[in-house]
């Protein structure tokens, strides 16, 4: 468990992550992180452009082929 402190940076707030957390996330300074909310709380993960693009494509496909996907799911 890590205790983090929120600090003011200009008109925003920032949290500094310890190097152990950065190592576990496999990120470094300048990388982008994604904060999502799930059933068990908040999740902090590295941003993955490939995953983002795949989810965007799926969202577009899902709408277009909604009925076909429903039938395939049966």
| Residue 21 forms part of a structural domain | no
b/e 37-52 (16+ beta carbons within 10 angstroms → b): eeeeeeeeeeeeeeee
**26-56, pLDDT tens digit by residue?**
999 999 999 999 999 999 999 887 877 888 8
| Residue 63 forms part of a structural domain | yes
User: What's the structural domain count of the chain?
Assistant: 1
pLDDT given at position 48: 80
pTM of the model: 0.59
| Residue 25 forms part of a structural domain | no
| Residue 9 forms part of a structural domain | no
Q: Which domain holds residue 51?
A: 32-74
| Residue 13 forms part of a structural domain | no
For the chain, give the mean pLDDT.
89
Residue 23 scores a pLDDT above 90: yes
């Amino acid at each position: 468990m890590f205790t983090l402190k929120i600090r003011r940076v200009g008109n925003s707030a920032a949290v500094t992550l310890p190097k152990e957390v950065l190592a576990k996330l496999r990120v470094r300074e300048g990388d982008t992180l994604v904060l999502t909310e799930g059933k068990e709380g908040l999740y902090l993960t590295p941003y993955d452009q490939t995953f983002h693009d795949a989810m965007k494509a799926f969202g577009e496909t899902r709408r277009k082929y909604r009925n076909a996907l429903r039938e395939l799911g049966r």
